[in-house]
Amino acid sequence: MSIEVIDSEKVTNFIEVRQGSGMIVAAFNLFMIGFLRHHPEFKKNAVFWCDGVMGLVFLKLKNHTIKRLRGVEMLKSVLLANKKRSVCVLGTCTEADKNLLAQYDVKVIQQYELISLNLMTMDISSLTISSDFVLVTLPSPKQELLSLQLSLISHNSNKHFICIGGALNMLSNPKLDCPRYLQIIGFEFLFRLKTDTHRRVKRLLKSLFDAAANLPRLIKCKIFIITK
């Protein structure tokens, strides 16, 4: 595996200098290790931040000792890199979220709720994106699959798709974030299991199987990792 590590203090500049060129930003964790088994093309234009215990363990096995970067911290860097720019939000974006984005001088000019998104039947060409960059706040794997499909449309080729899940909601309302001790040990998934439990447990079990099956292939990949 070839890994290029980018220090979190340099993330803002890393994003800024790539404005105008396409990129997908997503978390590297147990889910992603398994997701890449079925969607190896995802990593072509993707940059990952190291979020999750299994991501750290895997990189450690490959002799890369790095620190975990939480989604909320990654989102802050993304917003700092996009001051005075416009954003399209794919997924939930409350008034509190919009106020938070305004504090970072980021203006929401488009939003698609996509509550009942079905990627098998939806005509994604109906999502016309005119903003500078895109925040995707959908649950996995919908946010990764949607970002991948949209990034392949020619007029989106210069867009940044940030797969941020619930981080925007937690940044605007810290009470929704998990307890500090779970953040420290990297077991935030336990806290999240209390909501949408059936879907999350099902995804967790599938991710475990897919990750185990994907390890030999992943070793040969070249990926970019953002660490703390």
Identify the weakest region by mean pLDDT among 39-53, 75-89, 122-136.
Answer: 39-53
Contacts of 219 (CB under 8 A, 6+ apart): 1, 62
Residue 1, pLDDT above cutoff 50: no
- Domain segments of the chain as ranges: 2-227
Per residue in 86-126, pLDDT (tens digit) is 999 999 999 999 999 999 999 999 999 987 888 888 888 88
Residue 228, pLDDT above cutoff 60: no
Share of the chain above pLDDT 90, in %: 36
Q: Per the structure block, which two tokens stand in for 137?
A: 């706040």
pLDDT at 90: 96
pTM for the whole thing? Answer: 0.86
CA dist., res. 86 & res. 109, Å (int): 6
DSSP, collapsed to helix, strand or coil, labels residue 97 as helix
Identify the weakest region by mean pLDDT among 55-64, 127-136, 159-168.
Answer: 55-64
Residue 193, pLDDT above cutoff 50: yes
Residue 220, pLDDT above cutoff 80: no
Residue 52, pLDDT above cutoff 60: yes
pLDDT at 181: 60
Average pLDDT over the chain, rounded to an integer: 84
Counting DSSP H helices and E strands in the chain, the numbers are 10, 8
> Would you call the peptide bond into 141 cis, given omega within 30 degrees of 0 as the criterion?
yes
Confidence label for 144 from pLDDT (cuts 50, 70 and 90): very high
